[in-house]
C-alpha cells in the first residue's frame, strides 16, 4: 500500500506540483483501503461516455485541474447527468466553465463518478505542527465545522480507543448516536476511517503536509461510509525525500 501511494505522489512531485487533485488524492486513499467511490478519469468525451455506461447513469462530472482547487466556485462539478446526450452537452459546459474561471488552467481530465446516496456529513483533516508533528482532526461537516467549529484533535498515530473518544467528545455526537429517533450512524466505519488515515500519514509522514476529506458521507449502522471529496498537499521535495524516491525507483526497476 505504501508503494502504490508513493507512486502517485512521486508522479505529482515530478510534474512540479505539491497539490494532488481529487482523483490523485483518492488513489492514495484507496491504496490504504479507505472507502472511495468507483470513479474513472476521462480524458476524452468518448472515454467519458464509456465510463458513464460502465458505472451506470445517473453520474456526476468533476473537472480535475491543479489550478482549480475550489471546484464548486468554478462550477466544474455537475451532478445527476442522466443520459449520454446530456453528458455530451455537459462535457462542453464543464470545459467552458473552467476556461471562464481560469483560462490558463491545465485540465487533467473529467472524473466520472456515481451519484451517491447522501449520508450524515463528517470531515477528517490532517495538519502538521512543527513541534508536535501531524495532528488528526475530526468533526461533523457543514455548519458544524464552518460556524460552530465543533471539532477535535489528536496527535498521529492514534489507537482505536483514541478514535472512539474523538467521535464521542464532539458536542454534536448525539446526531451520530441517533438523536430524536434517528437510526445511529455507522460509528465503526468512522473509527476505521480515522485509523486508516492515521496509518497512512504515519507511513508517509515525510510527504504529507495537509489532508482534507470533506465531505465524507456516513450511513446508518452497518452500512459504511464513503469519501466524497479529498485534498492532499505534499511537502516540497527535500534531500531525504529524494533519497527515498531514488530507493523506490531502484526497487521498482
- Which domains occur in the chain, in start order? 1-37+116-252 (3.30.470.20), 38-115 (3.30.1490.20)
Q: Which three cell numbers stand for residue 122?
A: 463528517
Write down the pLDDT at residue 244: 60
User: What span, in angstroms and rounded, lies between the C-alpha atoms of 97 and 102?
Assistant: 9
Write down the pLDDT at residue 245: 61
Write down the pLDDT at residue 243: 62
pLDDT tens for the chain, residues 1 to 253: 788 999 999 999 988 899 999 999 999 999 999 999 999 999 999 999 999 999 999 999 999 999 998 898 999 999 999 999 999 999 999 999 999 999 999 999 999 999 999 999 999 999 998 888 999 999 998 766 666 788 999 999 999 999 999 999 999 899 899 877 789 999 999 999 999 999 999 999 999 999 999 999 999 999 999 999 999 999 876 655 566 666 666 666 6
Write down the pLDDT at residue 242: 61
Task: Say if residues 218 and 117 touch (Cβ distance below 8 Å).
Answer: no
User: What span, in angstroms and rounded, lies between the C-alpha atoms of 41 and 64?
Assistant: 9
Write down the pLDDT at residue 149: 81
Task: Say if residues 233 and 210 touch (Cβ distance below 8 Å).
Answer: yes
User: What span, in angstroms and rounded, lies between the C-alpha atoms of 115 and 102?
Assistant: 27
Write down the pLDDT at residue 161: 97
Amino acid at each position: 500500500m505504501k508503494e502504490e501511494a508513493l507512486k502517485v505522489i512521486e508522479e505529482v512531485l515530478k510534474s512540479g506540483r505539491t497539490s494532488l487533485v481529487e482523483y490523485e488524492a483518492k488513489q492514495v486513499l484507496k491504496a490504504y483501503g479507505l472507502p472511495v467511490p468507483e470513479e474513472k478519469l476521462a480524458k476524452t468525451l468518448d472515454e467519458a461516455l464509456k465510463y458513464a455506461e460502465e458505472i451506470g447513469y445517473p453520474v456526476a462530472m468533476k473537472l480535475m485541474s491543479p489550478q482549480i482547487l475550489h471546484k464548486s466556485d468554478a462550477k466544474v462539478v455537475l451532478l445527476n447527468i442522466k443520459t449520454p446526450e446530456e453528458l455530451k452537452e455537459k462535457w462542453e459546459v464543464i470545459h467552458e466553465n473552467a476556461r471562464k474561471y481560469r483560462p490558463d488552467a491545465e485540465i487533467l481530465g473529467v472524473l466520472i463518478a456515481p451519484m451517491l446516496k447522501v449520508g450524515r456529513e463528517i470531515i477528517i483533516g490532517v495538519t502538521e505542527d512543527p513541534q508536535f508533528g501531524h495532528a488528526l482532526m475530526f468533526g461533523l461537516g457543514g455548519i458544524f465545522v464552518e460556524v460552530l467549529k465543533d471539532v477535535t484533535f489528536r496527535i498521529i498515530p492514534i489507537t482505536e480507543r483514541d478514535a472512539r473518544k474523538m467521535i464521542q467528545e464532539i458536542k454534536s455526537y448525539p446526531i451520530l448516536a441517533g438523536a430524536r429517533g434517528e437510526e445511529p450512524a455507522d460509528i465503526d466505519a468512522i473509527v476505521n476511517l480515522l485509523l486508516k488515515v492515521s496509518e497512512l500519514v504515519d507511513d508517509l509522514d515525510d510527504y504529507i503536509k495537509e489532508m482534507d476529506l470533506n465531505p465524507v458521507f456516513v450511513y446508518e449502522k452497518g452500512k459504511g461510509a464513503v469519501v466524497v471529496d479529498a485534498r492532499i498537499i505534499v511537502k516540497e521535495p527535500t534531500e531525504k525525500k529524494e533519497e527515498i524516491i531514488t530507493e523506490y525507483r531502484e526497487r521498482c526497476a
